[in-house]
Each structure stands twice: as C-alpha cells, then as structure tokens.
Amino acid sequence: MNDRYIRQVGLFPPGGQKKLGNSSILIVGAGGLGSPLLYYLCAAGFGRIGIADSGAVEVSNLNRQILYDPSQIGFSKTASAIKRLREFNDSVQFTPHPHITEDNAREIFSGYDIIADCTDNEPTRFLINKTALILDKFLAEGGINGFSGFVMSVKRGCACYGCLKLPHKPDSKPIASIGAAAGAVASLQAAECIKAALSIGEGVFNKALMLDIFNGGVFEMPVERDPQCPLCGGLY
C-alpha cells in the first residue's frame, strides 16, 4: 500500500484504494469547480482522469480557479491543469479533451466510469445530463452563483438536472463568484465521486444540497422526477 493514502484507506472497504486506482472519471470544465475538484480526485488516488475544456487561462479566472497561476495566462487550461496535477500526483493518468459538444459527448463519456459536471452554462449541463443518463454513468452535478451553490448526484432512475427547478439558476448573469463557494461545492462533488467509485455511503440523489454561504446556511431541497423532463423523461 502506498503510504500516500494511509490516512484514508481505513475509511474504505477492503480493496477500496485499489478500486479507486482502477476508476476513471471525466471532469467537464476545468474552471472554478473543476480546479478544486481535480485536486481532490488526484489526492484521493483516482487512476485515470479526463479533463474536457477548450479554454485558455485568463487573469480574471484566478480568484477561484486555483489550478492556475499568472504564468499560465493565455495558455490552454487542460495542458496547464495536467502539468500542475502531474506534479501533485504523478500516479494519475491524465487525458485532455476538447469542450463537450453534441458531436463528441457520447464518444468521450464512454471512456469513463464517472462524470463530473463543472460547466457554467445551461445548454452544456443539459447535454452532459442527457449523455450520462443514456450511457448509464454516474454524474456529479454542481453549480455556483455568487455566494451560493448547489450539488446533486444523478443516475438512471433518479431525478436529473432537468427535473431540478432552481429559483435562481446557477451561472445566470452576471457571472460572479468567490473561490470559496466553488471550493465548497467542488468538495461535495468530489465526495460524491469517491463514494460512487467505491459504492459506499448515500449519494445526493433525488434532492439537491443548496449552499447559501453568504447567510451561512445549507439546506436540502427534494427533487422529484418530472415526467415531462426534457432530459430524463421517457428515458427510464
């Protein structure tokens, strides 16, 4: 056993660390959520991590996208992230992917066990949810807006992002968020992914965890499957 993981193996069933090492996960979006999420997944010891993002690092990213530093401004996010993360944990295998589109989503998703949605726009969220459900992949959803955020997990048979009726959609304009909100949401997403890989604990299914960091509150919002949902309606 690698001593690196000695402080967590006792939390897992026998063979759990090896199982994580044999697990693969795709992070869609290497921004505010993707940055801390990637750190925690690498720290936990996932074996293979894909990162889908076509963007370049901008100076305005640095308040929350903690994978990057000023020397990487203008450079590819995936290349910059992989360079940083390899220094952090070189036992993880990384693969860069372009931005997810209707044309490439199924092919890219099919190479991974678990998907994490760290994007910042509604059309891509819908595409990610639908593709994950069609391919029967576990999906960790998360979003932030200002001092607020939400987390929910999605799998076949459960409510999806399309069933979630948020009073204020995340990422709606203006896009302003503090890094700490992204970190809080991403940490919960990371925990959901680790539990899913190991088949332990209870996932955040059929509900959303709503974080109101400004007022210091976290509450649970039940989410029922919507038979008219444009994403999961009629799929199962």
CB closer to Zn ion out of 107 and 224: 224
Q: Report the C-alpha gap between 57 and 70 in whole angstroms.
A: 9
Interaction of residue 232 with Zn ion, rule CB under 5 A: yes
Contacting range for Zn ion; rule: CB under 5 A; set: 46-54, 115-123, 154-162, 194-202: 154-162
Contacting range for Zn ion; rule: CB under 5 A; set: 95-103, 113-121, 141-149, 160-168: 160-168
Closest distance between Zn ion and the C-beta of residue 114, in Å?
Answer: 19
Binding mask 105-144 for Zn ion (x = CB under 5 A): ----------------------------------------
Interaction of residue 38 with Zn ion, rule CB under 5 A: no
Angle at 84 between CA 37 and CA 97, to 5 degrees: 65
Q: Report the C-alpha gap between 195 and 201 in whole angstroms.
A: 6
Closest distance between Zn ion and the C-beta of residue 117, in Å?
Answer: 14
Buried b (16+ CB within 10 A) or exposed e, 96-130: bbeebeeeebeebbeebbbbbbbbbeeebbebbbb
**What is the signed CA dihedral for 117, 121, 122, 123, rounded to 10 degrees?**
-90
Q: Where do we find the tokens 């305005």?
A: 60
Interaction of residue 27 with Zn ion, rule CB under 5 A: no
List residues near Zn ion by CB under 5 A.
160, 162-163, 229, 231-232
